[in-house]
A and B are shown apart, each in its own frame.
Chain A
Amino acid sequence: MGGGVLKRLTFFMDPTVATLLAISVILFTLFLIIPLITVAIEPVLPGPGGYVYTPLDVFKDPTMVRLSSSRQPVIIRTINYGGKPTTLVVIVGPNYGAILNTLLNSAVVTVAASIFGLIVAFVMARYDFPGKTFFRVLAMVPLLMTPFINAFVIRKIFSYDGIISYILHNVLHLPILIHIDYLAGVMVAQTMTFWPIVYLNVYASMMQIDPSLEEQAENLGARGFRLFRTVTLPLSLPGLAAGAAVVYIFSMEDLGAPIVFREFNMMSYRIFSGLQAAITGTIPPYVSSLALILLAFALAIFLAIKKYVSLRQYAMLSRGGRWVPRVRRLGVKGLLAIYLLLLPALLFCASPQFGVFVFAFCERWVGTFPQGFTLKYFGEMIHNPILFTAIRNSLMYSGVALLIIVILGVSTAYIVARAKLPGIGVLDAIATSPIAIPGLAIATGYFLLFSSRIFKNTPLDPISSGPWLLLILAYAIRRSPFTTRAVFAGLQQTHEAFEEAAMNLGASRARTLRTIVLPLIGLSILSGALISFVYSMAETSVSVTLGGINRAQAPITYAMYDLLYSGYVYGPNLVAVMAVFLISIQITIIVVTNIVLKQRYAFIGV
């Protein structure tokens, strides 16, 4: 068998395959695998004083794991508000330490987002009603990229002087005020933000169900909920599993909501703050252990659902619809439910993004309602040195990352799709894994590895050279699956015979790649690259953790975090302006890929 493998290798290997393979293997090894191995071995290396702080020690730390909550989840007080005794309900959620809080939060958010996403997907996939297009657009709004500021708006909405309390107290005249904060706030904010990921995946699954399968079940007498339970739901499971898994990961590694809701007892926040401390002093011993645990949790969920979906589907889902889908009109009761329940729910989930626009265009927003209209904050994009530098940096980093992504994505996808090399499945899995790997684990790995003695004073060393190169590389690795998958899909849709015909006529592989493959899949490459670019611009976890090492090199998302928490009065307005800038790029690219390039992808990244 060994001889057979060697024979295969020599038969399918040529200079082009070798080059592409080398590009792929070297980049992933240096900037994904080795950093992650660093995270894994750091905990067992002796720290200062020879003490080894292992992941087991993390579990003994009461700030990480505690079996009874250190605080009351709901506090009810009677206060004097506007001269009247009023009940103030403060919902903060429990505190079981960073690790359990993170698990509890991800579980709650995943379940809540899955239920809501499933309901919306079913309604959208199977019913027709006036205004459906508006509903569909509305459902996508939470996916617009508004790092930090969307959670900021949600916190404002649920504050004791926010809209919800205002409605209860001043409109409905109830003697009650509601304030949501800490872990409870994180749960609400993440559910509102992440549910469309489930919706899009389930919707795609449902549109791919052959209508005759449901018709056959109906024909045999199944209807209503039974039809849904026995046929529609099981066939949508791949979408549900994929969507839920992505929500679980995003929820675990999200930094925005914990920072905004001041929930510092979460793994993501502890890793973040630990790395911040490391920039100026020494790295707290628990950081790499936490990053390792976070990584393990993320990978565990993917292994758990592997039965339903292969990893590659996460990066990109075709919106399906090979046949005329089964849609039917709704009766009066159904229409009432859609307009009186679903519409307000969708509007509510989209409200943070609307709030971001309000913040961008209002003079100030203190208390319940915003005050004044202005465009002056948009002028700051050019005149304010923090904003201007951050935007310029992000455009530069994402642009360079894009080049790397295209080379890496085309190399990897081509090798995986076309070169019949033994063991190529491993490369495929590695190339897709950045979807599942928390950015904070990568940030930790980069920091540990590249600030170590080996890389001292090289451009990779974040302490001496600043984080610019690491940010570019992190963007390239983390966002490459979007392009790799798009190129892979392009190759799958292009019959291999086109390439075989060229090689058969004497064209070398390099020439075949240049004259046949690239012209045929150009659009796939372009659309994948555009998506990668958008999500590089909005990358948060690595940007925020490493971006602060040298402020002059900080990217957009770091500046947004910084402006929001540096105590600057107009901070939220400026952050909102930057979010509007990001949203405009995102919408432009969605329009370009879907309408101009006619590439139909559902977006799932945040």
Chain B
Amino acid sequence: MTLAIFFVFAAFAVLGGIGVLLARNPIHSALSLVGTMVSLAGIYLLHHAEFIFAIQLMVYAGAIMTLIVFVIMLLDVRHEEAETERLGFAKVFGMVLAGLMVVVLLVPLAAGLTGKPGGMTEEVLARVGSVEFLSEKLFTTYLLPFEIASVLLLVGLVGAVALAKKRL
């Protein structure tokens, strides 16, 4: 049952990804990306990661994609420039990287490689409840990275003001 739901979400995520690439209209690309984000959120939920699920929906599918759509609308880009049609260096490079990615994904499958199993098995995850567990980890073991992230956000804010504000 869970596996079936997973494959549904996974299929939608992949379809969305393909849609991003193939859509001629930037808004359609962005919408496909929203579809991928939402599907990913569903997959997170299947893994009992409720917090990541909500964040995925709020931050990625919600806020970030809204901003992207906002910018596309504001610039009123209806269709991609014809220039991107030809097979440029960037496209070849992108294809090579994508090919490498496929290899990296397929090799472990073929060789039966798995990562080192951690302490968080599905039973544990279902028991501890992801929000409590996550917050506890975040404020004890990972306190320093958490605080660095807050400085990082401050830097982003100040940087955006420095680059974009009309009169400083």
Do A and B share a complex? Answer: no
Binding site for B on A (CB under 8 A): none
